[in-house]
Amino acid sequence: MDELITRLYVSIKGIWKYRFLAVIIAWLVAIAGWIMILKLPDNYEASARIYVDTQNIIRPLMEGMTVSPNVQQQISIMGRTLINRPNVERIIRMVDLDIQITSDKEKERLITELMKDIKLGAGVGDNIFTITYNHKNPVLAKDIVQSLLTIFVEEGLDGKKDDSSSALRFIDQQIAAYEEKLIAAENALTEFKQKNLGLLPGQGSDYYAQLLKAEEDMRQAQLALKEAEKGRDAIRKQISGDEPVFVLEPFVVENEPIVNPEIDARISSLNEKLDTLRLNYTELHPDIVSTKRLIAQLEEQKQEEAKHIFSTSKDPGRNYSPMLQQLNIALADAEAAVASMAARVEEYTARYERLKSLSTAIPRVEAEFTQLNRDYNVNRANYEQLLERRVSARMSGELTSATGLLSFRIIDPPQVPEIPAGPNHMILFSMVFFASLMAGIAVAFVISQVRPSFYSQSDLREFTGLPVLGSVPMIWTAQQKAKRKQRLFIFGMSILLLTVAYAALLLHFRKLDKIVGMLPF
């Protein structure tokens, strides 16, 4: 600690030795700095405040029917992107600065300066924006702030309209695209239904129900056929077990039509039935096919009986038997029933086999049908939702344009400033004053270090490494004392005059600011 105090004492003594050089340096630095400050042009600041009103009574009333944009986010984005190159170029044209531009380099410099100097400040949570700009020309500063204020309001209003129009255009494009997809899905679904008619789920009954029903019908028809065959066989056994009797039979002559009243009557009845069926069904209908087959069988039976009668007609001893005649009629009916049941069994078997052959294709058909239905339902749901969104977007755009969900209120319009905002002469003069003092002290300290002196025996002993035997004190004469006092007076007056000059400058500019502030504007 003692060593530090000693070194500090030595430094102060060295600075004091070159005090007049320090004063000269201080005066030079102060005068040069104050002259430079006086030459600085006045800088005028133009500003404006604008309030963005986001409260509107219609917003809560239309909630759920329209889509309200995030107004706070819009304001934040607009505030961050307002000072951009296109807007600055527009400001240059609005205030006629482009007339003074002679080259692209100068234009770039002007744009860069404006983007750096224009300030846009926003209050926290109160939606109040402040636009400020400093320039040596107060009228130009006011015009630039006014231009930026106009752009701020116009972008806020035009941005809402552009957003609504862009949203409507996008939704219309999506609606057109989904309409095409929906039409294609409908056509594919219709074509698939036509191609796979009867195999799709939901058409009366599904495939497996149809297969079970066809199998049941086939089994019932087979059972009925067996019953008919059993009855026919029983009648045949009864006929074969009777004693021979004489049966009144028609005389068959070659090349003449065969006449059998019972069979002819039955064929006639079946022909009438066949004509009736043809009025309602095609030739491939099971009833028509079975009736035609029965008629053919009766024709064959008539031919066989005619041949049998012709071969046995030579026996005139046969006796007539009414019971045998009735059994023959019953046998003919049984044969007809058997033929009809056989045709029905054949038809039901064909149906069952056809459905059974489709068992491998049914899962694929159902899966493809399900996929087509899913695609169609998704496209229809998206299409209907887009239609609702288009109505909502149109209402939102009209609501924004009609009611003004975002309104701008200018609190402080920009005006031509009368008092310059800068430079702050009092602060600058003070900085130069203290800097000049520090510069003088620094120069004196540096010279004292370059040309050192010894102010104590210990310093001399440390520097030379030799023992110091003693010291001779300085004895001042009266003339030297007077000269010393004179030099001290000059030094004090120099510092005092520098301080007075500094105070005078401060007082001068303070009075000037008061006078300008009292002027009407």
Per residue in 445-462, pLDDT tens?
Answer: 888 888 777 666 777 777
Residue 32 has pLDDT above 90, yes or no: yes
Query: What proportion of the chain, given as a percentage, has pLDDT over 90?
Result: 4
Same domain, 312 and 383: no
Residue 514, pLDDT > 70, answer no
Check pLDDT > 60 for residue 10.
yes
353, 212: one domain: yes
Amino acid at 382: N
Q: Are residues 276 and 141 in the same domain?
A: no
pLDDT of residue 517: 47
Question: What does the pLDDT read at residue 245?
Answer: 40
Are 193 and 68 part of one and the same domain? yes
What are the CA-CA distances from residue 37 to residues 121, 416, 432, 506 (Å)? Answer: 29, 24, 9, 12
Place of tokens 């009292």: 518
pTM, to two decimals:
0.41
Instruction: Let me know if residue 110 belongs to a domain.
Output: no
Position 59 confidence tier, pLDDT thresholds 50, 70, 90: low
- Where do the H-state alpha helices sit in 18-103? 19-39, 58-61, 71-81, 85-94
Q: 194-223: per-residue pLDDT in tens?
A: 776 655 655 445 666 777 888 888 888 888
> Are residue 15 and residue 153 in the same domain, yes or no?
no
Q: Which residues contact 464 (CB under 8 A, 6 or more apart)?
A: none
Pair (211, 353) in one structural domain = yes
44-53 and 407-412 strand pairing: antiparallel
Pair 224, 351 in one domain: yes
Q: What percent of the chain has pLDDT over 70?
A: 72
Q: How confident is the prediction for the chain on average, in pLDDT?
A: 75
Give yes or no for a contact between 294 and 240, defined as CB atoms under 8 angstroms apart: no
Give the Cα separation of 239 and 221 in Å (integer): 27
Domain that holds residue 302: 207-357
Give the model's pLDDT for residue 243. Answer: 39
How far CA 234 is from CA of 227, 330, 423, in Å, comes to 11, 11, 136
Say if 407 falls within a structural domain: yes
Contact 7, 475 (CB under 8 A): no
Q: Residue 363: pLDDT band by 50, 70, 90 thresholds?
A: low
**pLDDT (tens digit per residue) in 261-316:** 677 777 887 888 888 878 777 787 777 888 888 888 888 887 877 676 555 544 44
> What is the mean predicted confidence (pLDDT) over 246-251?
42
Helix (H, G, I), strand (E, B) or coil at 407: strand
Q: pLDDT (tens digit, 9 = 90+) per residue, 305-346?
A: 767 655 554 444 344 456 777 777 887 888 888 888 888 888
Which has the higher per-residue pLDDT, 59 or 177?
177
375 and 250 in a single domain? The answer is no
User: pLDDT grade, residue 401 (50/70/90)?
Assistant: low
pLDDT of 15 strictly over 50: yes
Query: Does 402 fall in a domain?
Result: yes
pLDDT tens for 417-454 read 677 776 777 888 889 999 999 998 898 888 888 877 76
Assess if residue 102 is contained within a domain.
Answer: no
* Domain end among 311, 327, 357: 357
Last residue of a domain, one of 422, 441, 461: 422
95 found inside a domain: no
pLDDT at 173 > cutoff 90: no
Q: Same domain, yes or no, for 307 and 244?
A: yes
Q: How far apart are CA 324 and CA 312, in angstroms?
A: 16
Residues 212, 339, single domain; the answer is yes
Based on the structure, what is the number of domains in the chain?
3
pLDDT tens, residue by residue, 36-47: 988 887 778 888
pLDDT given at position 496 = 92
- Which one has a higher pLDDT value, 493 or 159? 493
With helix as H, strand as E and coil as C, how does 112-157 read? HHHHHHCEEEECCCCCEEEEEEEECCHHHHHHHHHHHHHHHHHHHH
Rounded Cα distance, 465 and 419, in Å: 67
Residue 62 has pLDDT above 90, yes or no: no
- Last residue of one domain, picked from the residues 333, 357, 381: 357
Q: Is 363 inside any structural domain?
A: no
Residue 118, pLDDT score? 84
In a domain, 338, yes or no: yes
Count of CA atoms in the C-beta half-sphere (13 A) of 350:
9
Q: Clarify whether residues 505 and 467 are in a common domain.
A: yes
Lowest mean pLDDT among 44-48, 355-359, 462-466: 355-359
pLDDT tens, position by position, 66-107: 455 555 555 666 666 677 888 888 888 888 888 878 888 888
Asked if residue 518 has pLDDT above 50, the reply is no
Higher pLDDT, 464 or 62: 464
pLDDT at 31: 92
Residue 164, classified by CB atoms within 10 Å of its CB into exposed (0-12), middle (13-18) or buried (19+), is buried
Cα separation, 189 vs 380, in Å, equals 13
Q: What pLDDT score does 407 carry? A: 67
Return the structure tokens found at 69: 């944009």
Q: What is the DSSP string of 173-232?
A: HHHHHHHHHHHHHHHHHHHHHHHTTTTSTTSSS-HHHHHHHHHHHHHHHHHHHHHHHHHH
Please indicate, yes or no, if residue 349 is contained in any of the structural domains.
Answer: yes
Do 457 and 386 lie in one domain? The reply is: no
